[in-house]
Structures are given as structure tokens and as C-alpha cells.
A and B are shown apart, each in its own frame.
Chain A
């Protein structure tokens, strides 16, 4: 090959500088991507000639112990394409206002130079209001100035507060963990103002309600490196390649350490490629699979053979041994509440005796009360809230009897429901009788109920299956017809899964995601899988447990952050609204459905579990279970004035007046009449998110009722005669919102439909903090270049609004002014023991007592004149009350005073406060006060927790004492978090984070009713819905679900289950419109369908299709793929209406919609239960979720060419 010359001579190679010159830059700055992505990847941003040219992953995460793969590099295809946005043609460079509104505003200002009056004259003119509402989304933007835009926004806020009350101003921004302060700026403004923060985690249906149900925890999961310890990994409904791109390597690496990897997914998904076993469970049927797995585990690992590590685990760490009362029902029994400690003589006088529970002690042969229940948590005398198996009175050792099978007084026939067959059957359960204050009652253990529920007879009579081949609940053969998976496969799977747990001490991990969590009955599917983990002792172990990753991003430094973000350093409580309830009611989606029992059928009617979801919602609000804003049909400022006029002077009297008004029904909760104009939200402020498209289930209903612009709905309003507690208006409102403001760096769908678009800094243009649950580091966003063109950082934008409000307040709110804030019963407070029984004060079943039988009513004081000064000052209430999270609170006086001494301050009205003016200052306050970043604070916080728990804990903080990170430190290198009692893992010495290790290793209770992981839920609403025990419930049938009342299948179309999993080329809609991502995909968001279904309607790859149901329509191109199973289809979450969307011939040649045009939200009422232990409200922690996966669609080939 003599002709192939290697060239050595550098003189011939001088041209090589051509490429070398490209690889040159002026500076490198550390930043990351600040919204909605769980990656939490640290990036290097390269700046050349003042322009950001590219980004590369940072590699300098501090290392773990060497036997764990490192985190480098972290960062995916989406993140590395981000720099495209900065100078792209979709960048919002200036403030924009829709011309129709802008012209009217300028005219109004000419009429009256006072901005608030100008706004009033504009917005109270129905013609003008309708005109600009109908123009929403239809072009006509005009460039404006910051001064003008800020004036309109502030005028609208002040007008709204004055006219309707501040809780008519609602703001939405997604998950704060990715940019603490960018979120916190907006929420701080809203809460100082008295506005409403809308939740995201539950609305996205990312919250797994099973987590609060079982663990009393919003979500707590292992960092991805912990997967490496696992020896059996199951992935279900989670496409790790797609959504955990920087983490999925730990799976392949665990495989080379001997782990088996099994994927449950209906399609041959990207992660299935990684698997040893791919099990294509039919879409949404994973629960059936796991119910049968539990059947096998109980039979082979508990009944035929006992595994001591398993029985020991469930006895210590779950509610399995606790006694449940069996209530007589005809000739049979049904499972009832836990037996209360106070009902037996030994504990009859004990404090919180309704909230402490009993096991049957083997030694004393009596019901005995171990420590650790919620009653111990909120006892006056602390120190007994722990998981030691000791008597709560005399501290004697207890040895709980797990099952009565070998030591029973009787066998009771207990009724169980098969929700699939809609039949009730009875099964024998071993019973012991207990003498109680109500006489002798039959009791059994939770474990015995579980065994019966799962169908293992143990020789007892009843409707039990005889073998695995029997097809009654819940055998391997039973699940075949639902899942399409052979019974043999389930049995083998269960043996390997439990076998691994047995041999490794619980190293089985289930990664789970939106593919499960977005189903209507997601909590039951989760409970089925978590049951298997609990039965095999896998939770609270490194390498074991439930790894739920759906939008869950851990804001590690939560305690000081919450104080700043929700402005509780100045005024409390904040107004924190669960968004699903808010949107369901306010976008009038409730009007389009009848009783939920139409699609969630169950045998036997029960007042607690029937009716219309809107009525359930209203009940949840008036009983203090869930929040709802606006709170009343009256301005809360006016309410206070009215009370004063009626003679109320003290705060208590103001509250009493309000209670009486409510009791007499002179004052109503707004939720009871959501369509009355005085109950509408008036202003919607959106930042960091795409509220109108990505997450807006029932998007078309938003357009119609919330925005008042055009819509592609083809559905009737049907709720009229089916609601009782909620007022029906024959004419539904169009356009509730006076003003919609979007703060954005790109012109996405939400921006396109907003009245005002404000240009914000991108993530490489601002300083902020970032953390995630996928790793245990905290690191910064940094300003590599100043915000481009006229953009400002979110923090600065909200500061500017605050400043404008303060400037304009005189004349409207000259002085501090009082109002009343209603909030529901709160998780991690003594409210957890407020309602032992469900009683409705509006029905005379009890008295209305705020914070007990109804919402808390708190008097607060707003100071609009000083709103800006408050914004930029870390307020005195933090110093006074301390900070905390998850039920632990500690004092910060010393730290606060030190901040005043040594950090930048604000001084006004004679006092000095730590300054929050600049985001770095706010970041440093957070880093200074967080146990996760300041070792001495961690030590103090553990001391507090020791006090509650009564066991040593502060040694966990010993090794981190003296560690303290500043913002500049983080810019130099990401820092690993410290152990903190706000979280449940133990991570010192390079140990990977796995949740609940503090519970299994240090005997800190879970924040639940019994303090243990709960198999059983005895909330009356759960009993009524039959969800007291794990169960299988079928998905709602598409024909009764309400998607196809108007839209009917024909011979050109095919009906498919419509799945919207997370996609490869975007994080929700971010990056979707990025040219690079669109180039690597198909130039739009295509519609994936199977080869077989496509053949039936003659659709070829890349053909245009029209996808529709009663809710709306989507027009896009088809991708035909063998990897999609027939009967289902996918439209990856989340496309934008802004890119390549033609018009729809089916709906009058109007612009077709996005993925959420095909959805309407239905809330699952059981998840509204409240006032009871872990079933109490916290923001993004509890409430129904915005499920959407049970949706079906029709698809047909687009007729003719696409029309633009």
C-alpha cells in the first residue's frame, strides 16, 4: 500500500489550525438546565467573543467510594442542544403585548393616567374584555417596553386584590428543584401579595399517591448510583433511556455486576433493548401482574416455607401485625378500622388513644400497643415516636403475632370484592376476639387480611382458588387474560425476584414511572408492586426499593428555601393550591362529566363513594381535606371589614365571624359556585413552564372557559342534574381570566396565547441553585453572559413587579391590611390527628371548628407599600419561628444574626435584615441555613429529631460538622449533600442514597398512621371505595369514559388507547421546538402506531393523520413501527402547537391542537380523602392527580394535503 502516505511533516499540515481555531474559547462557566429535568447535570458553558458557542458536560462530581461507578459524564442530547435556543429565532428578546390589548390600554391610560383606574375601565368594559380574550393565540403581538408591561401587570394585580381579593391571582411554575430562586422569586411575590401558587407534581400526575398512602412521604427515592447495588431490577412504566438518560448507565453497569434486568412495557421500548427479560404486559395492566406475583410470594415464601428475614421485616417495618376490627355484615364480616388502643382497658386513658394501635403480643398473649404511631408523634410528651417493639406505656418488649392462623379463636367469613368481575365473595380469615369498651369484637391482623385478599386459603373455608391454575383473584392464571403474560412466567418471575431478595438481604429495585403513574388507578398499581417489595424486605436498603422517577426533583435544601420561596419569613400561611382540583373546577371540565361511578363501577352504593367528582371536591374543601382558591365568594379584605363592622376586634373574633357566616351559608366557599364571576381566578401568571400545553389536561377546555378563545371541543356539558353541592349555571363562562402573563425565553404555546410575554434569562444567563433526586450533589446555574437583548432573570423580573406594586399601592392599600387565609389540615402537623371519623359540619354531624372539622382560618396582614422591601429582605418570622421541613423544625436565631453581621443586608424602618436582593445573596442564605449544606445546622436538626424520636441520631451529622458550602464554592465544584433529618437516606462515607434507611436502621417511624409502612388504609373513604387493601381495579371503559359521545368510529378510522409517554427529543415541550432535536427526529411530534393498525386504515409511514375524540383534534404525521403493539398508539409528551401543526378538516379547518387537546381530566375521588394521619394536605404531596392515560382516540388518514 505504498500510495498511502502518512504525513509527518508539520509544514505540510499548517492548515490543521483551521479546526484548532474553532476549539478555542474565552471562558468556561458552570451552569445547568433549570426547569423540569431530573438530570441535575452540571455543564460547562463555553463563551467565545461574548457569545455562548457550545456546552459540554462537567466531569468533576466528587467521587463515591471506588466500588461505585462515577457520575461523569452527566448530560443528554437535549441538554447539549440547549445553546441553540440562546440566539435562535424563537428566543423572546423583548416584552410583547397583544396589539388589541395594548391599544386599549394606551387609550385607557389617556382617559385616566392612574394605571389601576385605567385597568379598571378597560377590564370592566365587557366588549373590550371579550375582544382581547378572543384574540388570544391568534397573532398580533407587538413589541412593548418593560415599563409599560410592568405597569399593566401591577395595575391588574392591585385592581384584582381590591375588587375580588388577592387570591384571584394565581401563578404556575413547575418544579423548583432545578432552579430554586427562579421559582422562588415568583412564589415569593405571590405569597407576599396573597396570591396562589398552583402545584405541579400532582397536576403532572408525577406524584405517586401510593407514596403518601404507604409511607406518608411525597416521594423519596434512591439516587441512580444506588441501582448499582441491586441484583434484580425491574423497570415498569419507566423508559430509563428516554427519561433518565444520564443515569441509565448504572443499569448496564449493574448488569455486569450480576444483576438481572427485567422490563415491563407494552411496547418494545428503548429500555427493553437493555433487558434480560422483556415482559410486554398489556398497557395499564401491570397491577394485575404484580397482584399475582404477590400471590406467589405469599404462597412460596410465607406459607409453604417461611423466610425469617421476610417475616421479621414485615413485622417490624409494616403494619402487618396490627389488629383490624372485622365488622359484621349480614352473615359475613367486612374489614373495618384498626383497633384503637383506647378501646382496650389497658390503654383506655392514654393520650391520643384514637391514634395509637394494637398488635397481639405472643408473650403476654394480649393486645398490646407498640410505640411509633401518629398518636406518639403528636403526644405532649415526646420521645416515644420510634419503631422499637416496646410497649408504649411500660416499655416492655413486645413480640407481635403476625398471623392468627395457628392461634385463633374463630374463623370469620370476610367479604372481598372482585372489581373486575364486579362480584363480592367471602373468604375465611382467622380471628381473635378482643374485649373492648364496645364489647367483644372480632379482630384479625393486616397480614391475615392480605393473605386472604391475595387468595391463599391456608386450609380455611371460603371462595379461595385451589391452585395457581385457578382463575379467581389473584392467581397467576387469573392475571393472564388481563396482562397477556403466561402464568408460568409470573411464577418464575416471582421466584427469582423474591429469591434474589432472600439471598441478598433485599436488593431488588423497581424503577417505575409515568407509564404506570398516569393511569386512573395508578395508586393501586403502585401498591401492588410496593407490596412485593415490602413482603420481600427490600425497602430501606441500598440496592432495594421503589425508584419512582416521574418529574420528581428533590429540592435538597428544602427548609430554608421554603421559608424564602413561600415568604413565610414575613407572612404565613401561604396559599398553596393543588392544581388538579383548581383546573378541574375552574376550566369547567367538571361540567362535561356525570357521576364518577359511571366509569368507576363498584358493587354496593356508599354515600362516601358515590356521586359527582365536583361534589367530592366541594366536600374535601369544606372538611379541610384539600385547599381551594379563591377561597370564598367574597373578597377576603372585605370580609375582614365586614366582620369589624359587626364588632369583631381580635383575630379570633374575625375568625369566629367568618365561621358563623359559613355556617349560616351567608358566605360560601368559591368551590361551591365556581362559575359565579366573583369566584373566578382573574389573573394567571406563568413562569418556567408551559402551563397551557404540556401539562394542561383538557387543553381545549382551558381555551374555551379559562381563556375565552377558540377551541376544537365537540362535547356537551352534562353535569347539570348530577351535582348537588356545586351550583350549576346553565350558561358556562367563556374567558374567566382578565390577564394572562407568561415569563419565557421562547415563544411556546403558552406564550403564544398569553396577553403579555416577558423575556427571561436562559439558564446560562443567571445565577441559581440546582439539585435532584437522581444524584446527591448540589451545584449552580451561573451567568456566563448577561441576559441577552432585553431579558432579565426571573428573580429580577419578580423584583421589578414587586417594586412596581409598592410604587402604585398608595391610594389603594396605604396601610398594612388584614385578610383571612383558609388552608386545609396540614401533613406533618398535629392536624394529622384532627378527624378520627368523617363528619360533615354542613350536615349537622359536628360543629364547624377551624383546623379540626373544617379548614384553618388564619388572619394575616398584607403590606403592599413595603412589598418590595419585604421581597428583598429575609424577614424576622424566620428568625422567630425557625425553619424546618417534614415535621422537624429548628431554631436559626444564631445563624440569622450571623447573617446580619457578616452578609449583605437591607435596612429599613429601623431594622436590618439579611439581603435577598441579588440571587447569589438568596442562594447563600439558603446554603448557610440548610442542613444539607451546613454540617452544624444538620447536627442541630438531628438533635431536634432525637428529641421527638427518643433514640440517638445526631451521630449521623458528626462527620459533616464544620462543612459549609457557599455559592462560589459550588461554582468551583459541585458539592455532595450532607446527611439531613429532612431526608431518609444515610449517605456519609461515600454511601449511595437509598430512602428509608433511617427508618430501617435507626428506627425512625414513617410519617403514617401506625408509623409503619401501610399495607392497610382504614380511612373511611378508603373503606368505602374498597381500597383499604391492595386491589386490582380495571381501567375505565373508553365507551363510558366520555371520550366518544359525539365522535363515532367509522370505516376510515380505528380506535386506539392513547399513550403519551415521555419522549426522546425533549423534556416535556422544552427542546421540542429546538431545530437540532427536530432534525434528529421527524421534524415534528409524530404519531406512533403499529404496522397492523396502520394497514387497517391504509396509513403509510410519514402520512398525515387526524387524531380525534370529543375533546379535540391533533393533526400530525404517522410513524409506523413494529415495536408498537396493536391497539395502542403513542404521541410522545409533549408537542407544541407552534411547530408544524396544520389545520383540521374535521373541526372546521381550525388549527389542530397538541397532545392535551385529546384529554379531559378526571380526578380520582378517593385521593381527596383527608384530615387523617398521612392523609392530610401538603403542597404537591396529597390530592388527586391529573391522570390521562385511560384516554382513547380515533385516528384516520388526513383527507387531502395539509392546509396551513
Chain B
């Protein structure tokens, strides 16, 4: 058992309001510089939709993640040695159009236009060329089902649905959409690390955060292709790639990452998971149907004495273990089995977990009138709007039972709370539903509490980072105290 600590996260999609505040918190801090304008380390996507960059989930096109070749696991893009021969040619990179061409406007015209016979207006101009441009794509182009005929209907995840099921999704009685906010998954088996020719990408030992060294990066952009989530981006001004850093400067000082702090839907949780690094390869090779279960099995019980002892042997500090024991992420992922990895079939073992959303009840149309009268008080998982099959494509590598299990439990929690607080659903029915979901009343109440009442400190349980210990390897902390911040700011040197 090789116990390691990973700072992991849960996004509760049933609470997500699709507001993109998270995206902007990140943008303000990290990607408002020249060369980074088009980057959205945190973005929010509407499903069904094609996302950003468009159709990123289509690995036949982008070649991200891993694939099983018999018994061996290989990056879809080819292994590091193999791709070195292709250093200057990577046909699987998203083009600027597949992201979008960043733009601004001729705002100054509103002040400077000479008196004319009509009103001036500020036209869009490209931030790259400075010329007038037609805006044809953006980082959130299919928000809220906009352009559904072009985007929603071409969601790669719809491929598992029959033609009729796909059509139905865009009919009034069955239509649905929901949001998926995405950041770097800080995977346990990150393909970006595997394919980087420069060895610039690494996982931090203390928290598993995946970083691209801005010193070592030479801008080969294989990480951009290799990441199946398209969460590594090329800074065209600096000539280096950059990605979500899980706000380590904030995390190291006990503050949640900016996108977590600012999540006004209160959907985000962060905490430490302990896992067994010895089993990564084995788990990553599990057949699709069993992938989610296998990934869960990798996560260790932080209160298990054997795990604690192995963790200490690996140099994991006591307070890190304590943080793991208090981790809300552990509750959602491992205890309650409610949070699932996105596209585990990419086999990178992503450490960002999603609680899938409950969605409105399906209606029927009777005599031309919209009808909900057949529905239960809350509906059932069989008459919710999104097909379980679609959800399974996203969150359980196609395993529908796992999705059903989660949704049943979420619904049972709500039914239990309704029976207890209002009584429009009987206690008897509530008990039956809890039983079917394999959930006790106490667990249901815990889930309800952690879903609705958590304060900042309940949602975000960060380990203490002993920065003084890291710093003293290079310089005495007492000296650092005196010299921190001195120096003249300079831009990083261009890569290559």
C-alpha cells in the first residue's frame, strides 16, 4: 500500500445554476493576460451541448486520454518516446476556431467618432489580429441550449441514445438541460503528464495538484492534445502551456480556490482523499462497466488504522490525515456513493467528482394539453427528463445501475425530509424509498445537511500546508520573512 494524499473536489450538479461566476473568478485572477485571453481554466457547459473547445469529448477527433491495448494502457496520442518523432506535427490539436477567437470592441469610437449623420456603434475586433471580425464562436456559445439545432443535437454523448430518444430530448414534454462546470481534474493518472516531451508536468507530492512548470515547458502542446478534458491550454504569447493550478497560492494559505470561494450556487466541496498509488495502473485498466467502482476502491478509509500507519510511513503529516478524516469529498464519494467521475472511460482517474442532477418530471401531452397529473409528488427516477443512459455516458462509463443508485438515493433523501417536515408523502412511503436506495434515515439527514446547510468551513476542508518546511529546503524561513516580495517584476521568457 503506497498511501498518498490528493486534494479532491465534488461539484453537486443538482445545485448548479450555470451562472459562470466561478469562471470569472478564475479569469480575473489567472487568465486576463496577453496570450491567455481565450483560456478558461474553469468553464461551465450546458448539456446537451458540445462544450468548449467544441466537441472536446470526441477522442476520435482529439486523441486525448488513455486506451487499452490488450493488457497495456497507452495514451491515445502515443507514448512519450513515440511522439518525440512527431515533435513538430500534432494533427489533433484543437484549432483556434474550435476554441474561439478572442475579441473586443472598438469602444473608443463612442468617444471619438466625429459628428456624422448617424449614431456610432462599437464593432467587434479580434484580439489577435486587431481587425474587425464576425463573432462566430465563443467559450460558452451553446449556453442554455442556444443553437440547439447545431450544438445540443451534436453532443457526442448522445450517441448512446436511439434516434427517437435523441429527438425526444428536444421536445417540450421531455426537454432538459443542465450544467457541468469543469476545471482540471488533477487526475491520478494524468495523460498530460504522460505525453509531455519536456517533462514539465508533474503532480505535487503533498496534494496531487498537477502543474506545468513554466520554466520547463517548451510549448510542445502535447498536453493540450493528451488531456481528454482539454484543460491544458497553450499561451501563444509566452510560448508555454498553462492550466488550472487549483489556486495553490490560495490553498496553501488556507483559502478555497477562487472558483470554489465564489461558487454562489454553493455546489462545491474540497477536501483530501487518501489513495493507494500502488493500484493506479490496475484500476485504470478496469473494464468500463467496473471503472467507477474500481476508482472508488482506490480511495482509502482515512480512519482505518492500517491506512493511517501506511500514510505516516509515507511521510504524510498528522494534520493531513486529520484533514482527510474530515473531508466532505470522502463523504460524497466513498461513504454516500453520490459523487462520480466525469468520463472515467478516459482512464485518467479524475479527482473531481460530480453529483448528477435530479431533473424535472416528464410530461405527456393529452388532447393537445400538457399533462403532469400522472406524476408522483416529486416524480420518480423513471420519469425524470434525462435518460439514465445519457447520464451514464457522462458519469459512469455507461453503467446505468450506478446512476440509478445515485438518483434513487437523492430522491429518497428528499422524500424522507418531506415526510418528516410536511407530510404530503407518508412516512411509510419514505421508509420504503430509503430502503430501496440502501440509505438509513440518519444517512439521509447527513446528506440533506451537507447539501443544504454547510458553512464555508464545512464545504472546504483544506489541510494545513507547512510552507515553512518547504521553504527551508531553499532558504531559512527567517530570511524568507525578510526578503519575500523584493524584486522587480518581469515577464516569463518565451518557450522554445
Contacts and interface: CB of A to CB of B under 8 A. Distances in A.
Contacts of B114: 139-140
Interface stretch (A255-263, A352-360, A1028-1036): A255-263
Contacts of B176: 268, 273
B418 A231 contact: yes
B138 A7 contact: no
A276 B21 CA distance: 25
A257 B266 contact: no
B286 to A, nearest CB: 14
A13 B210 CA distance: 12
Contacts of B495: none
A252 B119 contact: no
Contacts of A487: 369
B418 A260 contact: yes
Contact of A1121 (B4, B24, B146, B214): B146
Given A1-B280, A252-B15, A75 B262 contact: yes
Interface stretch (A15-23, A177-185, A664-672): A15-23
Interface string A1062-1102: 00100000000101101111111010100100100000111
A676 interface: no
Contacts of A88: 107
A572 interface: no
Given A15-B215, A504-B422, A1091-B170, A8 B205 contact: yes
A256 B417 contact: yes
Nearest to A753: B119
A contact residues, range: 35 or more
B115 A500 contact: no
A10 B213 CA distance: 12
Interface string A45-78: 0000000011111010001001111101111110
A1123 B124 contact: no
Contacts of B27: 1076
Given A23-B250, A253-B452, A507 B422 contact: yes
Given A74-B264, A245-B17, A1082 B141 contact: yes
A538 to B, nearest CB: 13
A21 B139 CA distance: 27
Interface in A232-267: 241, 245-246, 248-249, 252-260, 263
Given A256-B451, A277-B375, A484-B369, A503 B422 contact: yes
Nearest to B417: A258
B452 A1140 contact: no
B337 interface: no
B203 A7 contact: yes
Interface in B428-483: 447-448, 451-456, 470-471, 473-474
B90 interface: no
Contacts, number: 382
B130 interface: no
Interface in B173-208: 175-179, 189-190, 193-194, 202-206, 208
Given A10-B474, A1080-B138, A1125 B121 contact: no
Nearest to A1078: B105
A1119 B146 contact: yes
B265 A252 contact: yes
Contacts of B455: 63, 70, 72
B452 A747 contact: no
B473 A10 contact: yes
A80 B24 CA distance: 7
Contact of B121 (A3, A19, A99, A1151): A1151
B249 A23 contact: yes
A1204 B123 contact: yes
B122 interface: yes
A258 B422 contact: yes
Contacts of A16: 211, 248
Nearest to B315: A8
A56 B262 contact: yes
B144 A54 contact: no
Nearest to B470: A10
Interface stretch (B148-156, B300-308, B394-402): B148-156
A701 to B, nearest CB: 17
B453 A486 contact: no
Contacts of B103: 1079, 1083
A990 to B, nearest CB: 14
B413 interface: yes
Contact of A1080 (B20, B111, B178): B20
A288 to B, nearest CB: 13
Interface stretch (B57-65, B288-296, B328-336, B358-366): B358-366
Interface string B363-377: 100111111110101
B78 interface: no
Interface string A89-103: 110000010111000
B492 interface: yes
B451 A253 contact: yes
Given A20-B249, A273-B176, A276-B378, A246 B264 contact: yes
Contact of B249 (A19, A74, A137): A19
Nearest to B104: A1075
Contacts of B310: none
Nearest to B253: A23
A809 to B, nearest CB: 34
Contacts of A1078: 105
Given A484-B370, A489-B370, A1143 B250 contact: no
B149 A499 contact: no
A1102 B122 contact: no
Contacts of A1079: 102-103, 138-140
Contacts of B140: 1079-1081
A28 to B, nearest CB: 12
A280 interface: yes
Contacts of A1138: 110, 120-122
A75 B264 contact: yes
A657 B71 CA distance: 104
Interface string A498-510: 0110011001000
A1150 B147 CA distance: 29
A198 interface: no
Contact of A11 (B171, B205, B474, B489): B474
B28 interface: yes
B18 interface: yes
A956 interface: no
Given A140-B115, A280-B370, A1141 B121 contact: yes
A1148 to B, nearest CB: 10
Contacts of B29: 22-23, 54
Nearest to B206: A8
Contacts of B416: 258
A77 B179 CA distance: 15
Contacts of B452: 69, 228, 252-254, 256-257
B24 A1076 contact: yes
Interface in A434-492: 480, 484-489, 491-492
B373 to A, nearest CB: 3
A714 interface: no
A189 interface: no
A607 interface: no
Interface string A134-160: 010111110000000000000000000
A7 B453 contact: no
A258 to B, nearest CB: 3
A19 B456 contact: no
Contacts of A1150: 118
B205 A4 contact: no
A279 B372 contact: yes
A81 interface: yes
13 contacts: A13-B213, A23-B247, A23-B250, A69-B266, A99-B115, A245-B264, A248-B17, A249-B15, A256-B414, A484-B369, A485-B370, A1073-B105, A1119-B146
Given A12-B213, A268-B176, 4 more contacts: A57-B261, A486-B371, A489-B372, A1091-B170
Top-3 shortest CB links A-B: A140-B115, A258-B418, A139-B113
